[in-house]
Copies of this chain bind each other. A is one copy, B any other.
Amino acid sequence: MTEKTESQHTADKITKTAFHHGDLKEALLHACYLVISEQGAEHFSLADACRRAGVSTAAPYKHFRDRDEILAILIARGFEMMTEQLQARVTEAGRGTLPGIVAMGHAYIEFAVTEQHIFRLMFGRNPELKQEARALKSGTDCFTNVIEEVAIFCAAQEYTGDPKPLAVRLWTFVHGVACLQIDEDYDVVAPETDVMAMIAATTPNLLADVLQS
């Protein structure tokens, strides 16, 4: 009898998929997302999210194992959002082209900036969170996608080497940009930096081996 009632009744029963609240599970996830987006995961308090959702602080435990499970779900969703956005941008700019690769880099930064705190959560050192099945899967899926796009690019450029190390390089650089940007370290030390321009300028350097062929 531990059905989910969400997908089960949706067909016949449109309203009231859940009991008292409507859909507290999702409402709590959204509240947590909002709190984290505003205050950062470091200062995130589950009790705060409960207040916003208008329920007691014990309510979440009817839907989640603990605080960490909620964070793991938000991490997983973050990676899914990121994957979608990267895909959209590379498709738009042209798969298998240099502008396509650059566009993915730009999309990475945009995601990191607009979803700063979720991004920090996704890439922070939280071994117990990131080893959660969902978070782990959506994370690896996201990067698998990047490798795939770089592989398509390599093929289009008739580069016969292994695309994976190149993907790692590109990812590393763009990730460095994202971290330093959202941590405001550029602002302190090199405020003149135009990160988007830097990515566009540096990507060809990182792909020099491919572009020469």
- A: which residues have CB within 8 A of B? 40, 42, 116-117, 120, 123-127, 130, 136, 139-140, 143-144, 164-165, 168-169, 171-177, 179-180, 182-186, 188-190, 193, 198, 202, 205-206, 208
Contacts and interface: CB of A to CB of B under 8 A. Distances in A.
A125 to B, nearest CB: 5
A151 to B, nearest CB: 13
A181 B58 CA distance: 37
Contact of A179 (B136, B139, B176, B184): B176
Nearest to A117: B125
A190 B168 contact: yes
Q: Which of A171, A189, A190 has the most CB of B within 10 A?
A: A189
A171 to B, nearest CB: 8
Nearest to A209: B205
Nearest to A177: B172
Contacts of A164: 190
Contacts of A165: 193, 198
Contact of A175 (B125, B176, B205, B206): B176
B189 A172 contact: no
A17 B124 CA distance: 41
A168 B189 CA distance: 9
B120 A116 contact: no
A207 to B, nearest CB: 9
Contacts of A172: 173, 176-177, 180, 198
